[in-house]
Chains A and B, each alone.
Chain A
Amino acid sequence: MPVITYRDALNQAMREEMQRDPTVFLMGEEVGVYQGAYKVSRGLLEEFGPQRVVDTPIAELGFAGVGVGAAMVGMRPVIEFMTWNFALLAIDQVVNSAAKMFYMSGGQVPVPIVFRGPGGAALQLAAQHSQAFESWYAHIPGLKVVAPATPYDAKGLLKSAIRDDNPVVFLEGEMLYNMKGEVPEEEYIVPLGAADVKRPGQDVTLVCHSKTVTVALKAAERLATEHGLEAEVVDLRTLRPLDIPTLRESLHRTNRCVVVEEGWPFCGIGAQVVDDLQREAFDDLDAPILRVTQADVPMPYNKHLERAAKPTPDQVIAAVRRVAYLD
């Protein structure tokens, strides 16, 4: 099976969907001639021409709105934000237009649009450019929210997102673009709303998504070799709708849970996961569910402080030892 990068997996997904469906088009800053700020759209302008790969001015609200309008009249736009930090300027179109039209038109006007781009912190981009906005969008009824962690999932989920008739917020990771992984040559899709067990285990469930899947897997390796605990790593993949049955089934075996996420703790994705699980898995719980998140501060620019503010395998291991009553 070919091993390709997360970046190229996304590129393949867009290319295949544009080949498959002439209503799919890509629009955003530097997506055409420059081939994407992170080279995700490499070769697409050449293959599909300027009608379907559209460079826009630096005006997020404007081109997001154009995308929503196009979706309302039957197109399937993919709107690339250079990062989700810049997409704050466009959030009115995402929340007030894209997420509402299907509902407010009484089901007459679906908005099959994908908003995509990198989210979360990279390295020393400082407070304004290092933010994970998953919980902002997951809060909104009418949106689906996806955050893949591997090349395989990135491709399969983006294809599902483009085919979905609902607006989908698709959060990539700048630090993930170079990640390599196996991606089959034959076509496949990964359904939205399905979590994935990335590592089986019976002692504790680690719930994670996007970049924190790597953090959780590293923690799981060390838990196995240094602490004698087998952690089950469950990648949410889709944050809305949440795949609670998979989590419930995992907790039925492990009885303990730690939720790891890149965002801030207050009203985070983990808060929602904990709320669902305390109801759905109450009688399986042997300990309160703990969370590992980014520190509750704007991301520091200083390299050492930035490292200290991000969730780490050490923090995950400490939380696991607490829910296992070892500390």
Chain B
Amino acid sequence: MITKVVMEALSPTMEEGRIAQWLKHEGDAVKSGDVLAEVETDKAIMELPARSDGILRKILVGDGATTAVGNLVAVIADADEDISGVVGNGGEKGEKGEEGEEGQTVAAPAAPAASAASAGGEAEGGRIKASPLARRMAGEQGVDLRRVDGSGPGGRIVKRDIAAAAAASAALPVGGAEGWEDVPLTQLRKTIARRLTQSLAPVPHFFLTSIVDMERAAEAREALNALGGEKISFNDIVAKTVAMALRQHRACNAWWQESTIRYFHDVHLGIAVAVDDGLITPVIRHADRKSLREIAIETRALAERARARKLAPEEYTGATFSLSNLGMFGIDAFTAVINPPEAGILAIGAITPTPVAHEGAVQVRRRMHLTMSCDHRVIDGATGARFLQTVRQMLEHPLALVW
């Protein structure tokens, strides 16, 4: 059997991929699931698996070459099978249209269960197949169709799949599940959203700045690090503080979703990490429930994986709020750009010894600028200010972190 190997969409936003290197070579016997090649996507280096058994007969896109998602990159077939018909219309042509789709459907039958399980009811091209009734039920019961596996023909999501998904989510223990609440927009909120969007499209930012006295936080950090173990950075302290403050200020822990605002019950904190040719924002999940030490360890690990471009898609998506820190570059203060659909991001500046009036005398104290960018469609000025006030108070009284 001839199976076309195509460039697969290995990240949610991937449009093309570069073959980093082939791990199998022409003539090698391969089994379904074997890693054929490493592919560099827009986010990370991912593995391209074989979808059927056979001989890797022909490689059409070599090491270092880039091709669009859906394009033919290799052919798996039996040893003596004639593959000239397949190779003839090979992958160098920009066959994103019918040819590309055909390539995908030919490759898919080898592992339909695996691909269906990972993609839910989502068909090629991102369209979700669901019966009209299933769509209506999903809307009414708050079931995300992208997370439902369809049991109908061609993966169509039907009534029983929604019923099962709704029952499964209802059965999850309280507090242990991912939770949120979709609050419909009021007319006022819609009006605010429309007008602000018109004035500062696409995301109407505004900025709040606070200067935080970091003397006590610095003392706490020195004391903790003197105990040994994983070193705690100022960034870790700010991350922990922000996560705990977000728990008190749910209004800032939210996504703008056009027709609703999603207020999260959990805090998933994105931490911007500079990589060679850009930046990526790995996510500390449930940061509000993790200890300072756990956050420090996880942040270090994620940052390393990010620099090695080894992050899996679920490790850099789903943040509910983000941090960006340029303090290590000596930047005193800056404004960060919101990562939609998140409603806020906090920019952390350098900690700088500064002469200030303190308890009636001029003292040199370590000070830090925090600048919060807010999406005004979600967060109003006073809402953001109260959140930032909590962050500042907690940093200036770091014992609050043990509460």
Chain A interface (Cβ < 8 Å from any Cβ of B) = 255, 282-287, 325
Q: Mark B128-144, 1 if CB is under 8 A from A, else 0.
A: 00011111100000000
- Shortest C-beta distance, B135 to chain A (Å), equals 8
- Shortest C-beta distance, B134 to chain A (Å), equals 7
* CB contact between A325 and one of B132, B135, B151 (< 8 Å): that residue: B151
Chain B residues near A287: list those with CB within 8 A. 131, 152, 158
- Asked whether A283 lies within 8 Å of B133 as measured between CB atoms, the reply is yes
The 6 closest A-B CB pairs, nearest first, are: A286-B133, A286-B159, A283-B136, A286-B131, A282-B132, A285-B132
- Asked whether B160 lies within 8 Å of A255 as measured between CB atoms, the reply is no
* Chain B minimum-CB-distance residue to A252: B133
Chain B residues near A284: list those with CB within 8 A. 132-133, 136
A286 to B159, CA, bound (A): 6
Chain A residues near B158: list those with CB within 8 A. 286-287, 325
- Shortest C-beta distance, A154 to chain B (Å), equals 36
A325 to B155, CA, bound (A): 12
Chain A residues near B134: list those with CB within 8 A. 286
Chain B residues near A286: list those with CB within 8 A. 131-134, 158-159
Chain A residues near B133: list those with CB within 8 A. 255, 283-286
Chain A residues near B132: list those with CB within 8 A. 282-286
A287 to B159, CA, bound (A): 9
Counting chain B CB atoms within 10 Å of each CB, the highest count among A284, A285, A286, A287 belongs to A286
Give me 24 A-to-B residue pairs in the complex whose CB atoms sit less than 8 angstroms apart, sorted by A's number: A255-B133, A255-B159, A282-B132, A283-B132, A283-B135, A283-B136, A284-B132, A284-B133, A284-B136, A285-B131, A285-B132, A285-B133, A286-B131, A286-B132, A286-B133, A286-B134, A286-B158, A286-B159, A287-B131, A287-B152, A287-B158, A325-B151, A325-B152, A325-B160
* Chain A minimum-CB-distance residue to B136: A283
A282 to B131, CA, bound (A): 9
User: Looking at chain B, what size class is its interface with the partner chain?
Assistant: 10 to 19
Chain B residues near A255: list those with CB within 8 A. 133, 159
- Shortest C-beta distance, A201 to chain B (Å), equals 16
Chain A residues near B136: list those with CB within 8 A. 283-284
- Shortest C-beta distance, B259 to chain A (Å), equals 18
- Shortest C-beta distance, B130 to chain A (Å), equals 10
- Shortest C-beta distance, B149 to chain A (Å), equals 13
* Chain B minimum-CB-distance residue to A284: B133
Residues in B108-138 with C-beta less than 8 Å from chain A: 131-136
- Shortest C-beta distance, B304 to chain A (Å), equals 47
- Shortest C-beta distance, B116 to chain A (Å), equals 15
A325 to B159, CA, bound (A): 10
* Chain A minimum-CB-distance residue to B133: A286
Chain B residues near A282: list those with CB within 8 A. 132
Chain A residues near B153: list those with CB within 8 A. 325
* Chain A minimum-CB-distance residue to B151: A325
Chain B residues near A283: list those with CB within 8 A. 132-133, 135-136
- Shortest C-beta distance, A250 to chain B (Å), equals 14
A216 to B136, CA, bound (A): 29
A325 to B158, CA, bound (A): 9
A287 to B152, CA, bound (A): 9
A284 to B159, CA, bound (A): 10
- Shortest C-beta distance, A277 to chain B (Å), equals 11
Chain A residues near B131: list those with CB within 8 A. 285-287
A299 to B395, CA, bound (A): 88
- Shortest C-beta distance, B164 to chain A (Å), equals 13
Given contacts A286-B134, A287-B158, A325-B160, 10 further A-B contacts (CB under 8 A): A255-B133, A255-B159, A283-B135, A283-B136, A284-B133, A285-B132, A286-B131, A286-B132, A286-B158, A325-B152
Residues in B143-167 with C-beta less than 8 Å from chain A: 151-153, 158-160
Chain A residues near B160: list those with CB within 8 A. 325
A187 to B134, CA, bound (A): 47
- Shortest C-beta distance, A324 to chain B (Å), equals 9
Chain A residues near B159: list those with CB within 8 A. 255, 286
Counting chain B CB atoms within 10 Å of each CB, the highest count among A255, A282, A284, A325 belongs to A325
Counting chain A CB atoms within 10 Å of each CB, the highest count among B134, B135, B153, B159 belongs to B159
- Shortest C-beta distance, B128 to chain A (Å), equals 15
Chain B residues near A325: list those with CB within 8 A. 151-153, 158, 160
* Chain B minimum-CB-distance residue to A287: B131
* Chain B minimum-CB-distance residue to A281: B132
A2 to B153, CA, bound (A): 50
- Shortest C-beta distance, B263 to chain A (Å), equals 28
- Shortest C-beta distance, B165 to chain A (Å), equals 15
* Chain B minimum-CB-distance residue to A288: B131
A286 to B136, CA, bound (A): 10
* Chain A minimum-CB-distance residue to B135: A283
* Chain B minimum-CB-distance residue to A255: B133
* Chain B minimum-CB-distance residue to A285: B132
- Shortest C-beta distance, B311 to chain A (Å), equals 38
Chain A residues near B135: list those with CB within 8 A. 283
* Chain A minimum-CB-distance residue to B153: A325
Residues in B8-63 with C-beta less than 8 Å from chain A: none
Q: Mark B184-208, 1 if CB is under 8 A from A, else 0.
A: 0000000000000000000000000
- Shortest C-beta distance, B199 to chain A (Å), equals 38
* Chain B minimum-CB-distance residue to A282: B132
A287 to B157, CA, bound (A): 10
A285 to B156, CA, bound (A): 13
A102 to B136, CA, bound (A): 45
